[in-house]
Amino acid sequence: MFITEAFAQTAPDAGASPFGSGLEMLFLFAPLMVVWYFLLIRPQRRQMKQREETLKNIRRGDQVVTGGGLVGKVTKVVDDKELEVELADGIRVRVVRSYVADVRVKGEPVKAEETK
């Protein structure tokens, strides 16, 4: 009878989680979340800030590529949301600033830079 009692005492509980307690799960997922932050979230935020800065600094004379793949030269900054882009001689279109995919060539300097 002694042997059966020893086996009964060492048998795992039927209701116990196979992954351990909640604290052990936290120790498992915390490093995973840190890796996700440094490999995915942080670089994406940096890239978004850089794109916002690039779009904010578009000025007259810059060569831009629109979201549709059209390449043109900025002739006028209409307001903080729209640009006037010349695609060919005499063909000017208004483009929403957020639809500019890339700024290829920087144009003329800002007026304040010219006076220095």
Q: For residues 39 and 75, state if they share a domain.
A: no
Query: Residues 23, 50: one domain?
Result: yes
Phi-psi region for residue 99, left (φ > 0), alpha (ψ -120 to 50) or beta?
Answer: alpha
pLDDT at site 116: 44
- 68 and 100 housed in the same domain: yes
- DSSP reduced 3-state for 102: strand
- Chunked mean pLDDT (size 10), the chain, 116 residues: 56 59 81 89 94 92 92 93 94 94 76 50
Residue among 40, 93, 83 nearest 58 (CA): 83
* pLDDT of 25: 80
Which run of H or of E encompasses 105? Answer: strand 100-105
pLDDT at residue 27, as a whole number:
82
Q: How is residue 87 annotated by DSSP?
A: E
Asked if residue 41 and residue 72 are part of one domain, the reply reads: no
Same structural domain, 50 and 64: no
Contact 73, 107 (CB under 8 A): yes
